[in-house]
Amino acid sequence: MNELILAIESSCDETSVAVIKNGDTILSNIVASQIKSHQRFGGVVPEVASRHHVEQITLCIDEALTQANTQPEELSAVAVTYGPGLVGALLIGLSAAKAFAWAHSLPLIPVNHMAGHIYAARLVKPLVFPLMALLVSGGHTELVYMAEDGSFEIIGETRDDAAGEAYDKVGRVLGLPYPSGKEIDRLAHLGSDTYHFPRAMMQEDNFDFSFSGLKSSFINFVHNAQQREEALSVENLAASFQASVVEVLVHKTVRACQAYPVKQLIVAGGVAANQGLRDALQKAMQELPEVELLIPPLRLCGDNAAMIGAYAHVALKKQHLADLSLNADPSVSFAHRIS
- Residues at the binding site are 113, 117, 135-139, 168, 181, 185, 274, 303
- Residues at the binding site for substrate are 135-139, 168, 181, 185, 274
- Of 20, 9, 15, 149, which Cα lies nearest the Cα of 76? 20
Query: What stretch of H or E contains 225?
Result: helix 212-227
- Residues at the binding site for Fe cation are 113, 117, 303
Instruction: Please give the Cα distance from 261 to 258 (Å, whole number).
Output: 7
Query: Residues 122, 16, 35, 330: is their CA dihedral positive or negative?
Result: negative
User: Three-class SS string for 192-223?
Assistant: CCCCCCCCCCCCCCCCCECCHHHHHHHHHHHH
Strand partners, 26: 20
Compute the residue count for the chain: 339
Instruction: Please give the Cα distance from 18 to 31 (Å, whole number).
Output: 9
Q: Any idea what DSSP says for residue 322?
A: B
Q: What is the DSSP string of 8-51?
A: EE-SSSEEEEEEEETTTEEEEEEEEE-HHHHHTTTS--HHHHHH
Strand partners, 96: none
